[in-house]
Amino acid sequence: MIQTEVTPNPDSLKFLSENIISTIGTEEFQKKDIKKIENSFIRELLNFKGVELILLSKNFLSVKKTQDVSWNELKPMVISHMNHYFENNTDPILKSDLGEKNNEQAKDETVKKIMDVLDNKIRPAVARDGGDIKFKSFEKGVVKVELQGSCSGCPSSLMTLKQGVQNLLKHYVKEVNSVEAN
């Protein structure tokens, strides 16, 4: 059964499933990149009128829509698409043969601390709102992150970034001076 939750972004809705949606972590897909996307479920969903971006996580999928389509129109289509997939497949929508994680920079102790705070203190809160936060870099006291899913383009995302993410990171990792969206 698919349930929905509203997010702080009125153009984004979170679709929750008891099925595992992704075993490779959180991934975002945008309509503008549709030609590069091989996954047929994702490609078909991005082809729905008004779907601009989707974010897949372990047990939820967020859809960000354009303003010219209503949720009354789009929501049943997304739910039907998800139900159809899980009626015909036992595998998650996103799965990996390799257990790879984005840890190229995790060698550095400060970066390890930053990623730990992001993974354990920030990401769960952002995921509740149908989004994700990805670590991009740390240089000269500045942490660069990318807000994804419902958080991408959300009116309150800058406030979340500055008041929430920056304050938490500065508190737990003394080397952090500021946080910026990438």
Fold of 109-181: GMP Synthetase; Chain A, domain 3 (3.30.300)
- pTM, to two decimals: 0.65
Q: Which CATH number fits domain 2-88: 3.40.50.670, 3.30.1370.70, 3.40.50.800, 1.10.560.10?
A: 3.30.1370.70
Picking from 61, 53, 63, 52, the residue whose alpha carbon sits closest to that of residue 85 is 61
Q: Rounded to a whole number, what is the distance in angstroms from the first to the last CA of the chain?
A: 36
| Domain definitions of the chain by residue range | 2-88, 109-181
Across the 182 residues of the chain, what is the mean pLDDT of every consecutive 10-residue run?
91 94 90 92 96 93 95 95 92 71 56 89 82 88 86 69 84 90 80
- At 24 the pLDDT is 85
d(CA 118, CA 115): 5
Picking from 101, 102, 180, the residue whose alpha carbon sits closest to that of residue 138 is 180
Token duo for residue 10: 């009125």
Spatial contact of 122 and 158, defined as CB atoms under 8 Å apart: no
- At 1 the pLDDT is 86
- At 120 the pLDDT is 86
